[in-house]
């Protein structure tokens, strides 16, 4: 066969001039290629690769990329690590001494603030003292209302005498008797009121990045009893929320009584408490009557104790007393947690029903609600003598004690501090401070978790709404921090206050973290991508790569030979 | 006394100035022909509007009340239904069909229309989602595509402030939903006695959902008395038709088995009757039954609550000459009607919570078949056509009465069924003369909302007048849409459910014929629903995307590979192909192996030669052959070199 006759292909036409292989030779070598042919082929391979790398790859990356809005990750981390805010709580105190001159009072306040600042350095509360006899006398506008007003009564005043101190339930004022005149004594009284607050705040901060070592010192001084009580208070209370739904339910095993004077009872016992708590949360109230409520089969049920003549409920059964499967205690609709209050009226045959060990008739279910048992004292009088309404309706008088129990349980369930016992206003103010702190801490940790999540999962998309929510949350966090330091705790017309800002921040951060479109696409497995790409990229990639490698090798050899020749 | 009238009785009581009981419950029993029993449960609770608004609930369920408040619902109607009411043999429907739903789940409600359309849609979505959670039903799938806004078909049942202004009606259906026990349990939980006492203790999922036809309904509406005091009423009903024989089969042996030959009841008058052939005897009359045997339990106690209804609990509609026995606890008693020859007998359960009550009836042979009310209308609907592209809808409405009737015909179709309204034909002909030409019938009014793909379904409402004793046929053609790959449900080949058509028969204004027909003469409208339809859509092979990926990839790779190789490969003579190092090495190894094998062969042959004389010839042959082979081998090598 004549090699020339076959060589008419376009790319390999440059055979002329090359040596024809000797016919007798056993091994022929291909003619060396001309530089032009080589260049053409290399240009072709190069252009293919250029298209793949320059057009295909960016296109592929662009079409398969996920949208990630930019988040202020460093600020989020600062909050999570506790660097963004140095938590201090302003505690403005106003001192009023009726009958004293201004100079005398200024002198007293000077020595007071020196005394209080001395231990304020390792506490969380920043005490500032102002003086003034008249309420309308403005104190510095940077600070909100005074957290505590100290009133020193004159010696002859009929109110207080001697070395007594008194708190008013409705106002945040401390009334001191004429015996307590010394700055040291007054400072002691103030410390006594504020130390539970200091402890509670230190307890909240402990274990979080916001805890500063000096708080640790403060904690070390706490006794174990107060820590245990703080623990108990914390586990009982609901998560801070803007709205609580209170649901009062009457459960009856038979079909009587089927009505209760709940509206009157609520108006008498609950409404004043809820009005006082309005600064902390909103409350909605709903009531229901449920007949034919039976015990859950999982509990042993009450047993009759001959000795006392009472039906006793074992302590183990208390947790299963509320028959969750059958009693309609579904949470209320809308934002917020539902606090359930269950009143159980045992059947006449099972009355009186009490808890075995304590003999009590009410108990609290942590983070769920309260249960109370009402034993109607009727076996002595025959049923016929009572009128129809008496049998079927529980009067407000019947409910008095129950409502007191429920009110007590409610304060525990929303985490109202128990001290200072004398003043509800001071307790609520303390709760506001703790609430704001707890919300601030949880928001900071949520933002930190979101930042870690974004960092760990490079595949998840981040929509713009998340970035907006994070921004809102951070802005409110800043405000909350400033408000805490300035002592603006409660909501006013112009300002949300520390609690309001912390709540807004918490809501926004939760919204960002639980964004549904982010959660939905976290998992897009790599196997799936391989299954789609291999059939296409395999057969196309192999010739491309082989040709590329071959040309690279050829070029490398050529270079080496050139070097050798020279 | 007619069933319809009886059931209208509570309504008339309500309209009276009498104080409305806060709770009442009734059970109505009526044997139907061919061994069926109709049982209608009715539970009505009410609360004053002020108590409802301040969220103090007594007999009105709190869980539902909160949902209604949260979604600003003024009036709610919810239906769960299963099975088909047999018009032909069972007669007219209970409660005029007003407490009946189409197969699956149906909901319609009047919502506060404040805030415009988006606000109403928000409320609707909140309502169906909450109800979905409450009733463990897939109501949350009622989205824009399954929601319509009917104009003529429904009217509010309650009295509304402002005469019904400021509220909007939305209607949604889920024909695919299978109603079952998990829907009954929350339904019973809404009742004050929770299925533990009173007539609700008869409601057991095993029996209710074993029925031939059952429908559960919840209706919430405000009622205002003459004095202006308004109450919110919730009416819950369960209507079931049970096969008496089937329900009475023993619990320990629920599987139906063939009966032994001796126990078969054969019609011996048949000519082919023999020892091995049996024509089953027509059922005559009704077998003996009792509540405890049919429902598996007697009525446990009673649900008489304070401020409740003081009238009867159970009513039974049987012929006056039939003996009815009632047992309270241990004592037996006969239940007689209060007046002579009255069809309905009533009774009140004893107040005691412990006593069980049972009603039993002996076997009864009818002298004449019991009179059944003729239904107002007969309706049936089918899908016609073949193939996967097109189809047609065909509805037959038949008026058996001697007066004309005005009806509203409502269809809500899914978006993937695309009707052509220009093909809509309404033809009528007298029922008994098929030879006469059909006459086109013009609808009095027509409301049509065309579908939008994936956004809205079709809504078609026609106001028709059906002439006396005639049949109306309604037909139109439609296209079947092709869905997207992800829009198919897991069982796509089963077909897609199309919601039943709802037919409202308007009260006839000119009551010229004072016939004994039920329904119209009361002056109230009645409702019918056709059965739901199954629409087969073209379904793809669901492994298709992967096949497509593989096939296209192969084709692209083939084309790309050949063109690419053509462009970059160098073409040289066969001899000039440089032998790659690997090939040389492989050839070397092969040569060695061949050498070893050859020497082994040679040795084997050598060993064979040493045996006996006969072996020589073989050996010679063998050598010759080897020589030949060797020669051949050499020549082939030469040839192959030449070829190169």
The pLDDT score that the predictor gives to residue B424 is 94
Of the partner residues B130, B305, B560, the one whose CB lies closest to the CB of residue A258: B305
Asked whether residue B483 falls in the same domain as residue B391, the answer is yes
Q: What average pLDDT does the structure give for chain A?
A: 80
By residue count, chain A amounts to 566
With a cut of 90, say whether residue B169 has pLDDT above it: yes
Last residue of a domain, one of B519, B540, B561: B540
**Sheet (strand A89-96) strand order:** A125-131, A89-96, A148-152, A173-176, A165-167
B155 and B290 belong to one structural domain:
yes
CA distances from A11 to A8, A28, A100, A321 (A): 9, 21, 113, 92
With 80 as the cut, is the pLDDT of residue A49 above it?
yes
Residue B87 DSSP code:
H
A164: which 2 tokens? 């007594």
Query: Is residue A469 predicted with pLDDT exceeding 90?
Result: yes
Q: Please, are residues A378 and A386 in contact by the beta-carbon 8 Å criterion?
A: yes
Of these ranges, A276-280, A454-458, B526-530, the one predicted with the greatest mean pLDDT is B526-530
Distance in angstroms (rounded) separating the CA atoms of residues B90 and B33: 7
Quick one: closest CA in A to B568, which residue? A41
What is the distance in angstroms between the Cα of A324 and the nearest Cα belonging to chain B? 13
Count of domains observed in chain B: 3
Give the distance from residue A289's alpha carbon to the nearest chain B alpha carbon, in angstroms: 5
With CB atoms and an 8 Å threshold, state whether A388 touches B189: no
State the pLDDT confidence band at B412, using cuts at 50, 70 and 90.
very high
Question: Token pair for residue A457?
Answer: 């999962």
Q: How near does any CA of chain A get to the CA of B556, in Å?
A: 8
Residue B83 pairs with which residues in a beta bridge? B213
Chain B residues in contact with A256 (beta carbon < 8 A): 306
- A288–B contact, CB cutoff 8 A: yes
Last residue of a domain, one of B325, B343, B365: B365
Is residue B610 predicted with pLDDT exceeding 50? no
pLDDT, tens digit (0-9, with 9 covering 90-100), for A299-317: 888 888 888 888 888 888 8
Yes or no, beta carbons of B561 and A543 under 8 Å apart? yes
Q: With an 8 Å Cβ cutoff, are A286 and B353 in contact?
A: no
Instruction: Look up residue A90 and give its two tokens.
Output: 């302003």
Question: Touching check for A347 and chain B: CB below 8 Å?
Answer: no
Query: In this complex, do B568 and A547 lie within 8 Å of one another by their Cβ atoms?
Result: yes
pLDDT of residue B439: 84
CATH code of the domain covering residue B534: 2.60.40.740
Report residue A286 as tokens: 């709903």
Residue B5 lies in a domain: no
- Whether B8 is covered by a domain: the verdict is no
Residue A562 has pLDDT above 80, yes or no: yes
Residue B284 shares a structural domain with residue B325: yes
In chain B, residues with a C-beta closer than 8 Å to the C-beta of A328 are: 61-63, 189
Provide the pLDDT for residue A219. 53
pLDDT at B626 over 80: no
Give the total residue count for chain B. 644
Q: Report the pLDDT value the prediction gives residue A159, as an integer from 0 to 100.
A: 53
Contact A505, A443 (CB under 8 A): yes
- Report the alpha-carbon distance of residue A12 to residue A376 in Å, rounded: 111
CB contact residues (below 8 A), chain A span 245-264, against chain B: 247, 254-259, 262-263
Contact A288 B58 (CB under 8 A): yes
Pairing of strands B458-466, B405-413: antiparallel
CA-CA-CA-CA torsion sign (B318, B320, B322, B324)? positive
Interface confidence, given as ipTM, is: 0.78
Distance of CA A268 to the CA centre of its chain: 33
Closest CA to B415 of B643, B210, B143: B143
Q: State the average pLDDT over residues B319-331.
A: 83
Residue B594: exposed, middle, or buried by beta-carbon count in 10 A (0-12, 13-18, 19+)? exposed
Q: Is B621 inside any structural domain?
A: yes
Considering the domain boundaries, does residue B592 fall inside one?
yes
Count Cβ–Cβ pairs < 8 Å, chain A vs chain B: 143
B530 and B599 both lie in a single domain: no
Q: What residues of A are in contact with residue B578 (Cβ under 8 Å)?
A: 29-30
Virtual torsion, Cα A169, A173, A177, A180, nearest 10 deg: 130
Number of neighbouring beta carbons within 10 Å of residue A361: 20
B61/A259 touch (CB, cutoff 8 Å), yes or no: no
Q: Which residues 6+ apart lie within 8 Å of B40 measured at CB?
A: B7, B26, B27, B28, B29, B30, B94, B95, B237, B238, B239, B240
Q: Are residues B446 and B305 in the same domain?
A: no
Chain B residue numbers with beta carbons less than 8 Å from the beta carbon of A544 are: 564
The residue-averaged pLDDT of B205-229 equals 88
CA of A75 vs chain B CAs: smallest distance (Å): 36
Residue B332 forms part of a structural domain: yes
The distance from CA B300 to its chain's CA centroid, rounded to whole angstroms, is 32
User: With contacts defined as CB-CB under 8 Å, which chain A residues touch B568?
Assistant: 41, 44-45, 547, 551
CB contact under 8 A, B63 and A330: yes
List, for residues B463-479, the tens digit of each pLDDT value. Answer: 999 998 899 999 999 99
Q: Say if the Cβ atoms of A9 and B571 lie within 8 Å.
A: yes
Distance CA A15, CA A34 (A): 9
Report the gap between the CA of B310 and the closest CA in chain A (Å): 15
Work out the minimum CA distance from B264 to partner chain A, whole angstroms.
46
Helices (H), B482-580: 544-568
Dist. CA A429–CA A433, nearest whole Å = 6
Candidate from B196, B570, B578 with C-beta closest to A33: B570
Asked if residue B620 and residue B501 are part of one domain, the reply reads: no
Chain B's closest residue to A547, CA to CA, is B568
Instruction: Give me Rg for the CA atoms of chain B.
Output: 39
In a domain, B121, yes or no: yes
* Nearest to A501, CA basis, from A417, A445, A338, A509: A509
| pLDDT confidence bin for B26, thresholds 50/70/90 | very high
Q: Which two tokens stand for residue B343?
A: 């069809």
In the predicted model, is pLDDT for residue B395 greater than 60? yes
**Shortest CA gap B359–chain A (Å):** 24
Q: Find the CB nearest A12 among B546, B554, B571.
A: B571
Looking at the structure, do residues B66 and B176 belong to the same domain, yes or no?
yes
Judged against a pLDDT cut of 60, whether residue B156 lies above it is answered with yes
Alpha carbon B313 to its chain's center:
32
How close B627 comes to chain A (CA, Å)? 25
Three-state DSSP state, A16:
coil
For chain B, say whether A23 makes contact (Cβ under 8 Å).
no
Same domain, B203 and B289: yes
Collect all residues with Cβ–Cβ distance below 8 Å to B113 and sequence separation of at least 6.
B120, B166, B167, B168
Which residue of chain B has the CA closest to A538? B557
A247 contacts on B by Cβ (under 8 Å) = 62
Residues 41-80 of A with CB under 8 A from B: 41, 44-45, 48
Q: What is the pLDDT of residue A151?
A: 79
Is A33 an interface residue toward B (CB < 8 Å)?
Answer: yes
Q: Which of B66, B68, B545, B638 is the best mutation test for A, with the most CBs of A within 10 A? A: B66
- The two three-digit tokens of residue A445, written as one number: 């940790």
User: How far A481 CA sits from the closest chain B CA (Å)?
Assistant: 35
As a three-state string, the secondary structure of A359-408 is CCCEEEECCCEEEEECCCCCCCCCHHHCCHHHHHEECHHHHHHHHHHHHH
Could you give the CA distance from residue B209 to residue B81 in angstroms, rounded to a whole number? 10
Q: Do A330 and B546 touch (CB under 8 A)?
A: no
Whether B519 contacts B505, CB under 8 Å: yes
How is residue A456 written in tokens? 């760990």
Are both B230 and B308 inside the same structural domain? yes
- Domain extent at residue B639: 581-643
Min distance B450 CA to chain A CA atoms (Å): 32
> In the predicted model, is pLDDT for residue B443 greater than 50?
yes
Predicted TM-score (pTM) of the model is 0.80
Please answer yes or no on whether B306 and A45 come within 8 Å at the CB atom: no
Domain boundary among B540, B564, B591: B540
Helix (H, G, I), strand (E, B) or coil at A76: helix
In the stretch 363-402 of chain A, residues with CB closer than 8 A to chain B read: 388, 391-393
What is the helix (H) or strand (E) element at residue A312, kind and residue range? strand A310-313
B476 with B600, same domain: the answer is: no
Of B552, B556, B578, the CB nearest to A29: B578
Distances (CA, A) of A484 to A447, A555, B9: 20, 73, 67
- Please tell me whether residues B588 and B607 are part of one structural domain: yes
B424: closest CA among B456, B396, B392, B451?
B392
The Cβ of residue B640 has, within 10 Å, a number of other Cβ atoms equal to 9
Domain assignment present for B275: yes
Q: What is the pLDDT of residues B74-131, one digit of tens each?
A: 999 999 999 999 888 888 889 988 999 999 999 999 999 888 899 999 999 999 999 9
- CA B225 to CA B15: how far, in whole Å? 7
Asked if the Cβ–Cβ distance from B56 to A45 is below 8 Å, we say: no
Residue A12 distance to chain B (closest CA, Å): 7
Give the sheet arrangement for strand A303-305, strand by strand.
Answer: A303-305, A310-313, A353-355
Q: Which residue in B196, B266, B232 sits closest to B64, CA to CA?
A: B232
Interface mutation target, options A47, A288, A290, A325, chain B, most CBs of B under 10 Å:
A288
Cis peptide before A259 (omega within 30 of 0): no
A443 token code pair: 């928001």
Same domain, B446 and B587: no
Kindly tell me the sign of the dihedral angle through the C-alpha atoms of B12, B13, B19, B20: negative
- Which of residues A177 and A54 earns the better pLDDT score? A54
**Mean pLDDT confidence for A184-211:** 81
Local structure of B290: helix, strand or coil: strand
Q: What distance in Å separates the CA atoms of residue A7 and residue A16, rounded to the nearest whole number?
A: 10
- The answer as to whether B11 is a domain residue is no
Q: Do B145 and B415 touch, CB atoms closer than 8 A?
A: yes
């Amino acid at each position: 066969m004549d090699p020339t006759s076959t060589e008419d292909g376009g790319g390999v036409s440059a055979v002329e001039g090359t040596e024809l292989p000797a016919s007798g030779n056993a091994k022929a070598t291909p003619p060396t290629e001309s530089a032009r042919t080589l260049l053409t082929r290399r240009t072709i391979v190069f252009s293919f690769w250029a298209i793949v790398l320059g057009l295909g790859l960016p296109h592929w990356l662009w079409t398969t990329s996920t949208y990630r809005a930019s988040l202020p990750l460093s600020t989020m981390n600062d909050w999570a690590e506790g660097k963004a805010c140095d938590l201090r709580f302003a505690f403005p105190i106003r001192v009023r001494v009726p009958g004293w001159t201004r100079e005398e009072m200024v002198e007293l306040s000077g020595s007071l603030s020196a005394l209080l600042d001395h231990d304020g350095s390792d506490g969380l509360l920043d005490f500032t003292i102002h003086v003034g006899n008249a309420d309308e006398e403005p104190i510095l506008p940077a600070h909100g209302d005074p957290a505590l007003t100290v009133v020193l009564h004159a010696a002859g005043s009929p109110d207080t005498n001697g070395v007594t101190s008194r708190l008013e339930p409705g106002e945040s004022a401390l009334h001191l008797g004429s015996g307590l005149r010394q700055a040291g004594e007054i400072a002691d009284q103030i410390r006594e009121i504020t130390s539970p607050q200091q402890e509670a705040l230190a307890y909240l901060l402990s274990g979080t990045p916001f805890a500063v070592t000096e708080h640790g010192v403060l904690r070390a001084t706490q006794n174990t009893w107060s820590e245990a009580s703080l623990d108990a208070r914390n586990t009982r209370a609901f998560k801070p929320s803007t709205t609580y739904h209170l649901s009062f339910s009457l459960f009856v095993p038979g079909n009587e009584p089927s009505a209760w004077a709940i509206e009157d009872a609520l108006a008498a016992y609950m409404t004043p408490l809820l009005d006082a708590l309005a600064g902390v949360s909103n409350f909605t109230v709903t009531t229901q009557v449920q007949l034919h409520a039976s015990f859950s089969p999982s509990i042993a049920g009450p047993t009759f104790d001959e000795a006392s003549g009472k039906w006793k409920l074992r302590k183990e059964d208390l947790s299963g007393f509320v028959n969750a499967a059958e009693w309609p205690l579904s949470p209320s609709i809308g934002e917020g947690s539902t606090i359930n209050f269950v009143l159980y009226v045992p059947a006449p045959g099972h009355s009186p029903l009490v808890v075995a060990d304590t003999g009590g008739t009410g108990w609290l279910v942590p983070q769920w609600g309260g249960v109370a048992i009402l034993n109607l004292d009727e076996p002595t009088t025959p049923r016929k003598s009572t009128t129809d309404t008496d049998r079927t309706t529980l009067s407000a008088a019947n409910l008095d004690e129950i409502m007191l129990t429920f009110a007590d349980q409610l304060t525990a369930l929303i985490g109202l501090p128990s001290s200072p016992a004398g003043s509800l206003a001071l307790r609520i103010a303390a709760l506001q401070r703790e609430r704001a702190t707890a919300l601030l801490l949880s928001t900071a940790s949520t933002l930190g978790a979101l930042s870690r999540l974004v960092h760990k999962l490079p595949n998840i998309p981040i929509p713009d709404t998340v970035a907006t929510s994070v921004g809102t949350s951070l802005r409110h966090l800043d405000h909350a921090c400033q408000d805490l330091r300035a002592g603006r705790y409660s909501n006013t017309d112009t300002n949300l206050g520390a609690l309001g800002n912390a709540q807004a921040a918490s809501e926004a951060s939760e919204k960002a973290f639980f964004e549904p479109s982010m959660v939905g696409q976290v998992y897009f497995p790599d196997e799936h991508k391989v299954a789609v790409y291999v059939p296409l990229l395999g057969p196309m990639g192999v010739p491309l790569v082989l040709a590329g490698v071959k040309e690279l090798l050829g070029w490398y050899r050529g270079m080496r030979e050139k070097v050798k020749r020279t | 006394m007619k069933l319809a009238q009886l059931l209208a009785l509570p309504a008339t009581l309500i309209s009276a100035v009498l104080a409305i009981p806060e709770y009442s419950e009734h059970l109505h029993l009526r044997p139907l022909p061919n061994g069926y029993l109709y049982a209608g449960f009715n539970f009505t609770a009410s609360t004053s509007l002020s108590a409802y608004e301040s969220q103090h609930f007594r007999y009105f369920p709190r869980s539902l009340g909160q949902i209604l408040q949260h979604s600003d619902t003024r009036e709610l109607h919810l239906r769960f239904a299963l099975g088909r009411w047999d018009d032909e043999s069972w007669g007219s429907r209970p409660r005029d069909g007003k407490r009946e739903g189409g197969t699956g789940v149906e909901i319609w409600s009047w919502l506060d229309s404040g805030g415009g359309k988006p606000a109403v849609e928000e409320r609707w979505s909140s309502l169906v989602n909450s109800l979905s959670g409450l009733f463990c039903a897939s109501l949350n799938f009622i989205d824009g595509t399954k929601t319509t806004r009917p104009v003529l078909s429904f009217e509010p049942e309650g009295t509304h402030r402002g005469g019904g202004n400021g509220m909007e009606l939305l209607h949604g259906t889920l024909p695919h939903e299978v109603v079952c026990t998990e829907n009954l349990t929350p339904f019973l939980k809404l009742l004050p006695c929770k299925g533990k006492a009173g007539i609700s203790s008869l409601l057991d999922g095993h029996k209710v959902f074993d029925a031939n036809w059952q429908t559960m309904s919840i209706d919430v509406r405000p009622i205002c008395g003459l004095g202006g005091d308004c109450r919110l009423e919730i009416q819950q009903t369960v209507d079931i038709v049970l096969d008496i024989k089937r329900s009475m089969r023993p619990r320990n042996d629920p599987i139906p088995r063939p009966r032994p030959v001796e126990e078969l009841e054969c019609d011996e008058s048949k000519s082919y009757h023999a020892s091995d052939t049996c024509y089953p005897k027509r059922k005559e009359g009704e077998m003996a039954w009792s509540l405890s045997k049919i429902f598996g339990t007697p009525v446990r106690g009673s649900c008489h609550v304070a401020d409740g209804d003081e009238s009867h609990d159970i009513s039974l509609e049987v012929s006056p000459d039939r003996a009815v026995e009632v047992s309270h606890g241990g004592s037996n008693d006969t239940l007689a009607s209060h007046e002579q020859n009255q069809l309905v007998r009533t009774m009140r359960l004893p107040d005691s919570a412990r006593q069980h009550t049972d009603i039993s009836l002996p076997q009864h042979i009818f002298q004449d078949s019991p009179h059944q009310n003729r239904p107002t209308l007969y309706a049936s609907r089918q899908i016609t056509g073949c193939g996967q592209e097109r189809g047609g809808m065909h509805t037959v409405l038949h008026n058996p009465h001697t007066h004309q009737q005005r009806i509203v015909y409502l269809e809500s179709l899914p978006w993937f069924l695309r009707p052509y309204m220009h093909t809509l034909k309404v033809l009528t002909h007298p029922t008994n003369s098929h030879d006469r030409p059909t006459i086109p019938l013009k609808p009095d009014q027509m409301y049509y909302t065309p579908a939008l793909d994936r956004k809205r379904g079709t809504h078609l409402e026609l106001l028709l007048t059906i002439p006396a004793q005639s049949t109306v046929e309604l037909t139109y053609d439609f296209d079947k849409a092709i869905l997207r790959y992800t829009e198919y449900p897991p069982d796509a080949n089963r077909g897609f459910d199309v919601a039943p058509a709802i037919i409202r028969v308007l009260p006839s204004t000119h009551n010229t014929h004072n016939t004994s027909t039920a329904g119209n003469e009361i002056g109230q409208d009645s409702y019918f629903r056709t059965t739901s339809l199954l629409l087969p859509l073209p379904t793809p092979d669901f492994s298709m995307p992967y096949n497509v990926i593989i096939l296209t990839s192969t084709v692209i790779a083939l084309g790309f590979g050949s063109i690419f190789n053509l462009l970059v490969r160098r073409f040289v003579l066969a001899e000039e192909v440089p032998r790659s190092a690997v090939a040389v090495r492989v050839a070397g190894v092969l040569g060695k192996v061949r050498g070893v094998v050859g020497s082994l062969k040679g040795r084997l042959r050598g060993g064979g030669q040493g045996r006996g004389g006969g072996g020589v010839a073989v050996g010679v042959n063998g050598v010759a052959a080897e020589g030949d082979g060797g020669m051949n081998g050499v020549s082939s090598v030469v040839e192959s070199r030449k070829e190169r």
